[in-house]
Amino acid sequence: MNDQPSPVPPAPPAIAPSKRSGLAIASLVLGILGLTCIVPVIGAILALIFGIVALNRISKSGSQITGQGQAVAGLVIGAVGLVMIPMLAAILLPGIIQDRAARVKSQEMRCINNVKLIGLACRMYADDHDGKLPRTLDDLMPYTNNTTKHSVCPSAKNQNHYSYAFTGLTNVWGVSSDTVILHEIEANHRGKRTLLYDDGHVEQRKD
């Protein structure tokens, strides 16, 4: 009988623990952010880049790096986000443009109303001063509730100064309907100025 001990089988080689790909996780997170429009364009593009790089590294790691599912999900969500961006833009832009056009039109009408009120005050001033026009807007203080408010165009960049001034072309009220007695100092309305004529009518005209 052989009393020699049986040989001990060699220990199996140690297997290095696998680790999850940080790029795959980043791709998934950025894809979700891009889809929720928090960082729409940048998030979606980075999700695609990180997802591609992560899948490439995972395939070359020999199962040492995991996270293929997250990388694929990031790629898919990022691609969906990029597709949705122009669709959302096509839906939202017309409304934004329409709102801006309405706001511009509203400011134009408020400016016209300002100048009409100034014209009415000029008429009352002329009635009390032998048909003469005032020299400055401040002369109209007794004829309007708030000259400062009505003398600033809502579209003006500088809201601390009067937007209108007398032209000095005439100092008499009601002589000629062709004479501009007051004009908007800056062309605040897409190149147009609001004008007050000597007969009291108001127009907006380009220079």
Lowest mean pLDDT among 30-39, 126-135, 143-152, 177-186: 30-39
The top-scoring range by mean pLDDT among 64-73, 131-140, 145-154 is 131-140
Query: What pTM, to 2 d.p., does this model score?
Result: 0.57
pLDDT tier at 11, thresholds 50, 70, 90: low
pLDDT tier at 65, thresholds 50, 70, 90: confident
DSSP tag of 6:
P
Angle at 17 between CA 14 and CA 19, to 5 degrees: 160
Res 94 pLDDT > 80? no
The single-letter code of the amino acid at 12 is P
Averaged pLDDT score across all residues of the chain: 82
So where are the chain's domains? 19-94, 106-206
pLDDT digits (tens, 9 = 90+) for 24-52: 777 777 776 766 655 567 777 777 888 88
Q: What span, in angstroms and rounded, lies between the C-alpha atoms of 40 and 112?
A: 41
